[in-house]
Amino acid sequence: MPLAGSWGSMAMREPETVAAYAASIAERLEFDPSLARRVRQEVEDHLWESMRARAVETVRDATTRFGDPQVLAAEFATAWLAAQTRKTSAVAIIVVLALLLVMKVRLAWYGMAQWTLNDEQRLAGSAISSIDVCAFWLAVGLLAAAWAYLSIHRVAASCAAQCRKLRHVVYLTALCWFALAISVTCDVILTALRLVDRSFSAQAIIPLSSLMLESALVGLLILRIAGLATRMTQTTALVETRRVGHAS
Amino acid sequence: MPGMEGEMLKGHLDLIVLAALAEGPAHGYAVIEAIRRRSGQAFDLPEGTIYPALHRLEQGGLLSSRWTVAETGRRRRVYALTRQGRRALADRRAVWERFSNAIGGLLGQHGHARA
């Protein structure tokens, strides 16, 4: 069994080199520990399988055939970033739908409870309400644009081009968040106007809790976008390092 | 396949990987071997290039994957086409055939014109 013999001697001779090569890719992906772990295990398995299949191959041959760790890490990171961008856009859609539902429920409740604005407040309330509606539908439009952009630019020629396109989607999603934040702020002002002339009662819990829910949803979205932007900076740095390496 | 042909190959990597997995579930190394074998050794990319493509296709819902244990006792990730992946392969194959026929016709006419 010459194959098994070669495999045995190889396994004793060079496991550290295989582990070090796999680690050189995985450590660049530490921003997502589960991705880094998975890549490390897949690369190690591949290299051992490659050496087992080609009985005379050394670790150096196997790693050379596998490719430049920097280049591969950039490709893994870009694929991961694309998936995260899609997930963040999906979260934004859920947030927008949830906000719409909460707003509609609160408005219906105002109608039922007859929590109307008084004559002095009505003019200001009308202006703020218009801003609220415009901001909300602007957010919906920006999100639709982000999704359309993601669908049209699914494939890019290079990691750098893909990162640029994903960055545009993040910008659109961040603008969508900004518009939603304006809309929620308008809701807070409109609710404050309704509360100002009323003594605090158990009824106030309903609009206040709906505002807290809206704020939490908008907070969740900005945390998600901020996390994505941080990862994007790291991935872009990885891709740029790769490009500089290639140029030199 | 260096240079421009290598770049062309990268541009069609997703289709190539989907086609390689059409035979059945396989781990990364087996996918590369299938590509090499079925292309008559013509396609010889850096082997690592296949893994980001596998991850990307899985994230796009075209592949599924799971850990198994190889004969050697090592953990191994095995990939398989999903239903969506089979549909995508069929669609891309049809597009490729139309494109290939069109280019073939064009180059054939060009050859005739020169002759």
pLDDT tens, position by position, A108-159: 998 888 888 888 888 888 999 999 999 999 999 999 999 998 888 766 667 7
pLDDT at residue A233 is higher than 80: yes
Three-point CA angle A21, A77, A39, nearest 5° = 40
**Closest approach of A23 to chain B, Cα-based (Å):** 14
> Which residues are registered as beta bridge partners of B64?
B80
Q: Which of A57-66, A210-219, B21-30 has the lowest mean pLDDT?
A: A57-66
Rounded Cα gap, residues B27 and B76, in angstroms: 7
What b-and-e string marks burial along A215-244, b requiring 16 or more CB atoms within 10 Å of the CB? Answer: eebbeebeebbeebeebbeebbebbeebee
What does the pLDDT read at residue A242?
A: 61
**Contact with chain A for residue B39, Cβ under 8 A:** no
Phi and psi angles of residue B70, each rounded to the nearest 5 degrees, phi first: -75, 170
Which chain A residues are within 8 Å of B70, Cβ to Cβ?
45, 49
What tokens were used for B3?
């240079």
Pairwise CB contact (< 8 Å): A52 & B72: yes
The better pLDDT of the pair A160, B94 is held by: B94
The better pLDDT of the pair A234, A98 is held by: A98
> How does residue A231 score in pLDDT terms, banded at 50, 70 and 90?
confident
Rounded Cα gap, residues B32 and B51, in angstroms: 10
Which chain B residues are within 8 Å of A24, Cβ to Cβ?
none
Angle between helices A69-113 and A15-26 (to 10 degrees): 40
pLDDT at residue B3 is higher than 70: no
The better pLDDT of the pair B46, A242 is held by: B46
What does the pLDDT read at residue A144?
A: 95
**Contact with chain B for residue A81, Cβ under 8 A:** no
**Contact with chain A for residue B36, Cβ under 8 A:** no
DSSP 8-state code for residue A30: T
Phi and psi angles of residue A214, each rounded to the nearest 5 degrees, phi first: -60, -45
**Closest approach of B74 to chain A, Cα-based (Å):** 7
Which chain A residues are within 8 Å of B27, Cβ to Cβ?
45, 49
**Closest approach of A68 to chain B, Cα-based (Å):** 8
Mean pLDDT of A195-212: 85
Mark residue B96 as left, alpha or beta (left: phi above 0; alpha: psi -120 to 50; beta: remaining).
alpha
Phi and psi angles of residue A54, each rounded to the nearest 5 degrees, phi first: -110, 95
What does the pLDDT read at residue A222?
A: 96
**Contact with chain B for residue A42, Cβ under 8 A:** yes
- Quick one: what percent of chain B has pLDDT higher than 90? 52
DSSP secondary structure string for all residues of B21-80: HTTS-EEHHHHHHHHHHHTTT-----GGGHHHHHHHHHHTTSEEEEEEE-TTS-EEEEEE
DSSP 8-state code for residue A117: -
Q: Which of the residues B47, B54, B72 would you substitute to probe the A interface, choosing the one with the greatest number of A C-beta atoms within 10 Å?
A: B47
pLDDT at residue B84 is higher than 90: yes
Three-point CA angle A24, A161, A157, nearest 5° = 90
Q: What is the pTM of this model?
A: 0.79
What does the pLDDT read at residue A25?
A: 94
- Cβ atoms of B33 and B20 closer than 8 Å: no
Q: Which residue has the tokens 């295989």?
A: A18
Rounded Cα gap, residues B65 and A113, in angstroms: 54
pLDDT tens profile A6-47? 444 444 457 788 899 999 999 999 888 999 999 999 999 999
Beta strands B63-69; B75-81: pairing state: antiparallel
Mean pLDDT of A207-233: 93
User: Helix, strand, or coil here: B81?
Assistant: strand
pLDDT tens profile A42-87? 999 999 888 888 776 688 888 888 999 998 999 999 989 999 999 9
> How does residue B16 score in pLDDT terms, banded at 50, 70 and 90?
very high
